[in-house]
């Protein structure tokens, strides 16, 4: 009887160890996401193999550029010059991707900017830059699983998006440790990255050869915004379990100027940008107005806002800054008009 008990205990212990061993990459992904969201570059570095990640991205960029050159073969000498100039941008783009902030955006299902590198991936604190994380949205679509014994893949995309997901490839280090060693970026495979066009390179070179005899055109003024927001009545709400308030939040009222709308709308979707007094963005919120809007008639939203995260500098800035020292603007991305016509921007 005693032998049976010992045998059963051993079986249970082995089963527990096997289950724990199986879920080690899930734990690594959880800790990596937590470090990225909390902007803890040092903690994130424990789960990222930066040299391997850089080599992976460099190979992806080079393959993308090789496809681009093969698809646009030409005898034009400016084509080769443009390709060389694009190749020179690879390292800055990789620097922009291999940062805790960019990894956090990718984990949230967003596409990080490639033209302006943020903090370097060296365990240093995050750069004090505007927060680009949407906070008024659901969790991204995420799935994960083993590709083989030593490779674990996490697939992330924006909620309900039709685009292909970004894939985070973790490789086993030792017995139970995992590190991010590669990224599979669908927008690289589709050549959807900002890069200098050969036409602009050729035009610039030709102007130089003509000693700038052509008249330069001044950039056109941007169209006025279709909707202009004004925020008021900003307040901070701490969590209070006794009142069933489980998250800290910042609430405010928004008055919308609709005078620039061409006609009545059924719903509007876009980005609400909260900026400093000079117009530098500090927080970007995904925003949807489901109420009908009538041109020339102001629309008021009361008691709207976002969940407050004490670890985000942008959230602390919004909480501690007076409204008179803020500016606001709204970038429309989609409109459904009351006549059923849809428009994208």
- Average pLDDT value for the chain: 75
Instruction: Check whether residue 151 and residue 280 sit in a common domain.
Output: no
Distances (CA, A) of 334 to 157, 202, 233, 273, 275: 20, 35, 27, 16, 22
Last residue of a domain, one of 163, 189, 215: 189
Last residue of a domain, one of 164, 189, 214: 189
Q: Which two tokens stand for residue 130?
A: 């505007």
Degrees, nearest 5: CA angle 59-143-151: 50
> pLDDT value at position 291?
93
- Is 223 within a domain? no
> pLDDT value at position 283?
94
Instruction: Check whether residue 162 and residue 236 sit in a common domain.
Output: no
- Is 8 within a domain? no
Query: Which backbone phi and psi does 95 adopt, to 5 degrees?
Result: -60, -35
Instruction: Check whether residue 242 and residue 122 sit in a common domain.
Output: no
> pLDDT value at position 206?
54
- Contact status, residue 308 vs residue 247, Cβ threshold 8 Å: yes
Between 294 and 206, the more confident residue is 294
Mean local confidence (pLDDT), 296-306: 93
Count of domains forming the chain:
2
Q: Under 8 Å CB-to-CB from 182, ≥6 apart: which residues?
A: 52, 53, 56, 169, 171
pTM flag (> 0.85): no
DSSP 221: P
Banded model confidence at residue 216, pLDDT cuts 50, 70, 90: very low
List, in sequence order, every beta strand (DSSP E) within 100-187.
Answer: 141-148, 151-157, 166-173, 177-184
Q: Which domain holds residue 102?
A: 21-189
- Is 9 within a domain? no
- Is 163 within a domain? yes
Instruction: Check whether residue 236 and residue 331 sit in a common domain.
Output: yes
- Is 84 within a domain? yes
Instruction: Check whether residue 175 and residue 26 sit in a common domain.
Output: yes
Instruction: Check whether residue 292 and residue 181 sit in a common domain.
Output: no
- Is 234 within a domain? yes
Whether the pLDDT of residue 266 is over 80: the answer is yes
Instruction: Check whether residue 178 and residue 241 sit in a common domain.
Output: no
Instruction: Check whether residue 266 and residue 184 sit in a common domain.
Output: no
Q: Are strands 166-173 and 177-184 parallel, antiparallel or unpaired?
A: antiparallel
Instruction: Check whether residue 32 and residue 167 sit in a common domain.
Output: yes
Between 30 and 199, the more confident residue is 30
Instruction: Check whether residue 183 and residue 234 sit in a common domain.
Output: no
Distances (CA, A) of 76 to 81, 87, 185, 198, 204: 9, 18, 30, 10, 14
- Is 96 within a domain? yes
Instruction: Check whether residue 183 and residue 243 sit in a common domain.
Output: no
Instruction: Check whether residue 152 and residue 234 sit in a common domain.
Output: no
- Is 256 within a domain? yes
Last residue of a domain, one of 189, 204, 238: 189
- Contact status, residue 291 vs residue 238, Cβ threshold 8 Å: no
* Stretch among 146-150, 198-202, 228-232, 235-239 having the lowest mean pLDDT: 198-202
Whether the pLDDT of residue 329 is over 90: the answer is yes
> pLDDT value at position 196?
43
CA distance 34 to 26: 12
């Amino acid at each position: 009887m005693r032998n049976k008990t010992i045998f059963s205990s051993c079986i249970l212990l082995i089963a527990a160890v096997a289950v724990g061993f199986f879920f080690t990459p899930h734990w690594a992904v959880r800790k990596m996401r937590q470090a990225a969201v909390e902007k803890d570059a040092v903690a994130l570095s424990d789960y990222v193999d930066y040299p391997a990640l850089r080599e992976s991205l460099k190979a992806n960029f080079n393959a993308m550029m090789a496809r681009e050159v093969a698809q646009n073969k030409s005898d034009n000498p400016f084509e080769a010059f443009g390709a060389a100039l694009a190749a020179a941008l690879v390292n800055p783009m990789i620097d922009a991707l291999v940062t805790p902030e960019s990894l956090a955006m990718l984990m949230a299902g967003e596409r990080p900017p490639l033209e302006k590198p943020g903090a370097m991936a060296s365990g240093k604190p995050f750069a004090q830059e505007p927060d680009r994380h949407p906070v008024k949205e659901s969790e991204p679509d995420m799935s994960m699983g083993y590709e083989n014994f030593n490779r674990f893949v996490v697939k992330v995309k924006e909620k309900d998006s039709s685009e292909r997901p970004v894939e985070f490839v973790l490789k086993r280090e030792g017995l139970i440790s995992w590190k991010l060693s590669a990224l599979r970026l669908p927008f690289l495979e589709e050549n959807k990255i900002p890069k200098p066009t050969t036409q602009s390179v050729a035009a610039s070179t030709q102007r130089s050869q003509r000693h700038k005899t052509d008249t330069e055109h001044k950039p056109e003024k941007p169209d006025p915004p279709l909707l202009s927001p004004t925020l008021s009545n900003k307040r901070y709400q701490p969590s209070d379990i006794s009142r069933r308030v489980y998250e800290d939040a910042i609430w405010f009222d928004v008055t919308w100027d609709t005078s620039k709308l061409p006609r009545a709308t059924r719903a509007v979707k876009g980005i609400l940008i909260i900026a400093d007094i000079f117009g530098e963005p500090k927080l970007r919120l995904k925003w949807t107005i489901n109420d009908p809007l009538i041109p020339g008639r102001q629309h008021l939203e009361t008691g709207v806002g976002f969940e407050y995260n004490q670890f985000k500098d942008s959230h602390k800035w919004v909480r501690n800054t007076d409204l008179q020292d803020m500016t606001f603007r709204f970038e429309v991305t989609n409109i459904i008009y009351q006549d059923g016509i849809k428009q994208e921007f």
